[in-house]
């Protein structure tokens, strides 16, 4: 077919990019070549609208073994000769159309990124955003997504050790589904995503190739519209049992000495793997697409190249060791076919038998090579200054504090996510230390050592929307605080940056501000960014109006508990223990769930926050945990201090009796979400040591009250009993989702 500028536009390319392609090739591309550029130059694959700002993030650190962008995932030294590979990515657009397979293949893809490097996945986390739970569509989405994550991860055999779920109307059409995987490997055994050595054979291994997921990268780089359901072919289909076989075969292959490099076929399939591995090795490949194992007939060259069929790898093997590789994959009953070889030029030649169907320079396709890089305009949205006009004194204090506390306990953004967590296998591999040890972060035992990993995903998108720079700083800080409160030390982050359309100057301003704030916080905590994902175009075009989601830069943080005996849980331990608040109580309720739910006020700034003070608080908490001065630690976050106390009381069904300070508004004290606060409990025998230590830190701290038998009391007023509150907290979400209302399935 004749290729025109309209063809390019139909494939998501701009007229200017079409001209760039013609200049690179010295001719007009054919349809297959244009399809190649359309996926490789899509936002999802090339980061063309984000890379300028991503490069401002800190990428170096004393514990890094592999930095951002160097391989499929970051690799961090966790001691004992081990490296930890971890990464988070999005599967938002597929989940908006087909939530079950969208979520399942998101889990499969992120796990492949980890074991392609030679690491065995040992833990998963996720970060999920959905719309109004009163909508049948939202219920359909969350049920499909959670089942997809659970079915794939449970079958593959990796525990989910943490995550978050948040609801807001802005996600009604476009949910966010971010999946994180964490793996462990011996240092020095990493597999690089590289192809080199002229004449070395190129294998495709794993599943057969079909037409699913074609143009998935392009689909993920466009708005969700009312017609997006027609894009079902862009949704991949997963097979977790095939992936388990591929995992074991890949790790065995790594021990064979036959491998040069390997890469997962994720977004953009064969063309992505061939181009990126070639560019990294500074050479090219000659590939015969007819040799690819197919599961469908009549599949064209461009479809083979762009297919995102799951559970596939591209492997570069040392010439002469083909029999070793083929024996391993035959043992695991997996496809293992030579489809080409490495050539010395910067060129990808794709054949269908004897017919050359595409010829393009590998380097011209990839990030850091010929892929375009844009500097988008941005402008501060009008709402930003409006939100800052919020005044606390304009908000009336509630008449019934007990009723407010009940409202918050049963709010879906605060109530237990038990309905979600129970669909995940949290105990497979027997390394999850938090199964019966509730903590602010997921703790994963590194067997045979004295250490454990501490893992978390965090982002309050309401804060980021109100103030993108401060909100992103808070996201990093809360992740670090969760690691520290669990007895760990923050090491590094991966991020999943979920935003609207980058061509919207106000959306791009949110992105720039958030990346700037994230960078400042990461430098403060010495947690370099090891990689991640940018997901733009998270918005809906409905009835002529475009509505972006809240800017949601999710932080996946890796920490280490260097001595497992320092692991700290959040639950109250014994009646009579003294409850202390570390950090300063302030008259602030900006950005809080309380303000949004009880008063219906959504227009307020992000909550009180000071990065330097936050760092000092965390350093103090590290010291008191290592000094064994406290019995529990739990950070103050969504829902404020009262919810923190309730969450600490519930596991062992204790109560509390606390007194509020006279100088702080009671609702701000109980329900405000000012940052840099941690609730700890201290046995009376250690109280003097604790107070002496805190006095030396020159930080705010105060005694709130005591752990009691089961009643919740504030200022001598009963807020009920823990058994009753716990029942509401645990069952709210499942009652909403088990509603027998008709579910939307289209």
Segment (H or E) for 267: none
State the Cα–Cα distance between residues 592 and 638, nearest whole angstrom.
7
Which whole-number Å values give the CA distances from 24 to 4, 19, 369, in the listed order?
16, 9, 12
Q: Are 105 and 237 in contact (CB under 8 A)?
A: yes
- Is 465 in the active site? no
Distinct helix (H) and strand (E) counts, the chain? 25, 28
Sign of CA dihedral 98, 99, 101, 105: positive
State the Cα–Cα distance between residues 367 and 43, nearest whole angstrom.
10
- Is 634 in the active site? no
Q: What are phi and psi of 438, to 5 degrees?
A: -60, 130
Helices 611-626 and 468-485: crossing angle in degrees, nearest 10, is 0
Our measurement of the distance from residue 738's CA atom to the centroid of its chain's CA atoms, rounded to an integer in Å, reads 27
Task: Output the CA angle 557-562-567, nearest 5 degrees.
Answer: 80
Residue with tokens 């889990």, as numbered in its chain: 107
Q: Which of 44, 93, 634, 706 is catalytic?
A: 44
For the chain, the first-to-last Cα distance in angstroms comes to: 34
State the Cα–Cα distance between residues 191 and 115, nearest whole angstrom.
9
Q: Which among 629, 584, 582 is positioned nearest to 487, based on CA atoms?
A: 629
Question: 634: how many CB neighbours lie within 10 A of its CB?
Answer: 25
State the Cα–Cα distance between residues 9 and 12, nearest whole angstrom.
5
Secondary-structure percent of the chain, ordered helix, strand, coil, rounded to 5: 40, 25, 40
Question: 394: how many CB neighbours lie within 10 A of its CB?
Answer: 9
Write out the catalytic residue numbers: 44, 91
């Amino acid at each position: 077919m004749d290729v025109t500028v309209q063809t390019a536009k139909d494939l998501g390319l701009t007229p200017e990019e079409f001209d760039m392609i013609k200049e690179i090739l010295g001719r007009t591309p054919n349809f297959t070549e244009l399809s190649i550029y359309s996926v490789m130059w899509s936002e999802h694959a090339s980061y063309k609208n984000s890379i300028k700002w991503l490069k401002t993030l800190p990428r170096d650190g004393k514990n890094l073994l592999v930095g951002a962008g160097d391989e499929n995932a970051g690799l961090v030294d966790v001691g004992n000769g081990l490296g930890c590979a971890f990464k988070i990515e999005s599967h938002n657009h597929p989940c908006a159309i087909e939530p079950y397979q969208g979520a399942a293949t998101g889990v499969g893809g992120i796990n492949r990124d980890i074991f392609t490097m030679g690491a065995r996945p040992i833990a998963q986390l996720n970060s999920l955003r959905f719309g109004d739970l009163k909508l049948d569509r939202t219920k359909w989405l969350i049920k499909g997504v959670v089942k997809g994550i659970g079915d794939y991860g449970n079958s593959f055999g990796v525990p989910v050790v943490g995550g978050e779920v948040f609801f807001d109307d802005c996600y009604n059409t476009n949910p966010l589904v971010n999946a994180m995987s964490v793996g462990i490997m011996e240092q020095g055994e990493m597999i690089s995503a590289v192809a080199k050595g002229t004449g070395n054979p190129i294998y495709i291994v794993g599943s057969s190739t079909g037409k699913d997921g074609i143009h998935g990268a392009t689909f993920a780089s466009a708005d969700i519209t009312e017609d997006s359901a027609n894009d079902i072919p862009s949704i991949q289909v997963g097979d977790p049992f095939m992936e388990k076989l591929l995992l074991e075969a890949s790790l065995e292959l790594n021990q064979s000495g036959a491998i040069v490099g390997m890469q997962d076929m994720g977004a953009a399939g064969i063309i992505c793997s061939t181009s990126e591995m070639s560019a990294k090795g500074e050479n090219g490949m000659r590939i015969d697409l007819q040799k690819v194992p197919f599961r469908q007939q009549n599949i064209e060259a461009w479809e083979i190249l762009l297919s995102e069929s799951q559970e596939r790898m591209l492997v570069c093997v040392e010439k002469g060791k083909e029999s070793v590789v083929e024996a391993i994959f035959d043992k695991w009953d997996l496809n293992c076919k030579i489809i080409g070889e490495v050539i010395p030029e910067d060129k990808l030649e794709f054949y269908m038998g004897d017919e050359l169907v595409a010829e393009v320079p590998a380097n011209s396709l990839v990030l850091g090579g010929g892929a375009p890089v844009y500097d988008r305009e941005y402008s501060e949205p009008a709402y930003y200054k409006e939100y800052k006009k919020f005044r606390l004194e304009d908000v009336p204090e509630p008449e019934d504090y007990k009723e407010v506390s009940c409202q918050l306990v049963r709010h879906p953004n605060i109530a237990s996510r038990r309905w979600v967590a129970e669909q995940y296998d949290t105990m497979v591999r027997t390394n999850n230390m938090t199964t019966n040890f509730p903590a602010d972060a997921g703790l994963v035992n590194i067997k045979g050592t004295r250490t454990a990993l501490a893992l978390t995903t965090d982002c309050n998108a309401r804060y980021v929307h109100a103030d993108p720079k401060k909100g992103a700083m808070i996201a990093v800080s809360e992740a670090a605080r969760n690691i520290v409160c669990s007895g760990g030390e923050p090491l590094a982050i991966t991020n999943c940056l979920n935003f609207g359309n980058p061509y919207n100057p106000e959306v791009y301003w949110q992105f720039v501000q958030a990346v700037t704030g994230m960078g400042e916080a990461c430098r403060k905590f010495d947690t370099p960014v090891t990689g991640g994902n940018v997901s733009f175009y998270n918005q809906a075009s409905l009835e002529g109006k475009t509505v972006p989601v809240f800017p949601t830069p999710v932080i996946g943080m890796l920490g280490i508990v260097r001595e497992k005996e320092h692991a700290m849980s959040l639950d109250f331990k014994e009646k009579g223990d003294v409850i202390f608040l570390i950090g300063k109580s302030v008259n602030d309720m900006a950005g809080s769930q309380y303000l949004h739910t009880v008063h219906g006020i959504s227009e307020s700034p992000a909550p009180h926050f000071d990065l330097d003070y936050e760092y000092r608080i965390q350093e103090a908490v590290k010291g008191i945990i290592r000094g064994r001065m406290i019995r529990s630690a739990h950070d103050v976050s969504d829902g404020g201090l009262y919810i923190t106390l309730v969450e600490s009381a519930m596991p062992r069904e204790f109560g509390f009796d606390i007194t509020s300070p006279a100088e702080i508004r009671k609702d701000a004290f109980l329900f405000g979400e000012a940052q840099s606060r941690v609730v700890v409990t201290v046995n009376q025998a250690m109280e003097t040591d604790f107070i002496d230590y805190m006095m030396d830190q020159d930080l705010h701290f105060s005694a709130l009250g005591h752990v009691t038998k089961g009643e919740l009391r504030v200022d001598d007023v009963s807020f009920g009993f823990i058994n009753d509150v716990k029942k509401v907290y645990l069952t709210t979400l499942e009652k909403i989702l088990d509603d027998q209302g008709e579910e939307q399935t289209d």
